[in-house]
Amino acid sequence: MRVDLEDLRFSRGSFTLRGSGTFEEGVHLVSGPVGSGKSTLALLLAELLRPASGAVRRHNVASALLLLQFPEHQITCPTVAEEVRSWGLSPEDVLARADLPARAGDDPFHLSRGELRRLTLACAVMQNPDLLMLDEPFSSLDCTAKREACRMIEEREEGITIIFSHERAVLPRVNAVWEMEDGVLTARGSVPDAIPSWRHAPPYLAYALREGARPENIRLSDAREALCRIRG
Ligand SMILES: Nc1ncnc2c1ncn2[C@@H]1O[C@H](COP(=O)(O)OP(=O)(O)OP(=O)(O)O)[C@@H](O)[C@H]1O
C-alpha cells in the first residue's frame, strides 16, 4: 500500500503547490505554517482537487477518507447517534471512544467545536480506512483532548495516516515528517533521522537538538527522554 505524488503541480491565483514523493504505510506528519498549502495538498491527495499537472497515484489502497479541517462541514444527520450510524459505526462504541457518553440524542451542532472534532476523529479512526488523511485534527482541542487524539492516531496499526497540521506542542509518534513551505512540499524522511533536518521543528525538539540530545520521535516526551539520557 502506498501513495505516490508524481511531480504534482496545482495553481490557484498567485498560489502554486508543488510536490513529489511517496507516502508509505505508517503515520506521516505534513507540517507547515498557516497558508502554506497543507489543506490544498490534502484535497489533492483526496482527489477532491485536480492537479494542473503530475498525478496522485494510489497503490493497493482500497478505501480513503479525508477528515476536513472544519468538522461541521462533514456533518449530515440531525442527531449524534444518527451521525455515527451514517459512518457505519455503533454509537455506543464511538461515543465511549470520543468521551461523549450522554450526547447520543443531541443535535451535532449543539456540541462544541472541540467535541465535534473528537466525534469525527473517533468515527474516522474507527472506520479504519486504508488511507486516512486528517486536516488539522488537533485544532479546537485542549491539551488533554489533543493527547487523546494522538493516542487514537497512534493506535492505528495498519494503513497510511497523513496528518496535515501546524500544531507544534502536542504531537503523536510518527514514522515520517514532511514540510510544506510556500506551497513547496519537502520530504524530511523517516523519524528519527528526519528530526535534525526538520526546519520548523517544535521548540522542544530544537532545544533538545541544540543540547546534543537525539530524540527517538517527535513528541515532547521523546525530547524529554533524550535530554534525560545525556544528562544522566
Ligand atoms: N478556495 C480558495 N480560493 C482561493 N484561495 C484559496 C482557497 N483556499 C485556500 N486558498 C489560498 O491558498 C493558499 C494555501 O491555503 P491552504 O488552505 O492550503 O493552507 P494551509 O497550510 O492549509 O493553511 P492553514 O494552516 O491555515 O489550514 C493560501 O494562500 C490560501 O489563502
Q: Give residue-wise pLDDT tens across range 184-222.
A: 999 999 999 999 999 999 999 999 999 999 999 999 999
Q: What is the CATH number of domain 2-63+129-231?
A: 3.40.50.300
* Predicted model pTM: 0.94
Q: How much is the pLDDT for 71?
A: 87
Q: How much is the pLDDT for 169?
A: 92
Which portions of the chain are predicted below pLDDT 50? none
What cell was used for 194?
528526519
Burial of 144 (0-12, 13-18, 19+ CB in 10 A): exposed
The residues pairing with 30 across neighbouring beta strands, listed in sequence order, are 164, 178
Ligand 1 atom, smallest distance to 180 CA = 21
Domain spans of the chain, in order of start: 2-63+129-231, 69-128
Cα 30 to chain center, whole Å?
A: 8
Contact 215 CB / ligand 1 (< 6 Å): no
Dihedral sign, Cα of residue 59, residue 62, residue 67, residue 73: positive
Q: How much is the pLDDT for 201?
A: 94
Is residue 179 within 8 A of residue 204, CB to CB? The reply is no
Per-chain mean pLDDT for the chain: 95
Q: How much is the pLDDT for 9?
A: 97
Find the 225 Cα to ligand 1 centroid distance in Å: 36
Q: How much is the pLDDT for 157?
A: 83
Q: How much is the pLDDT for 125?
A: 94
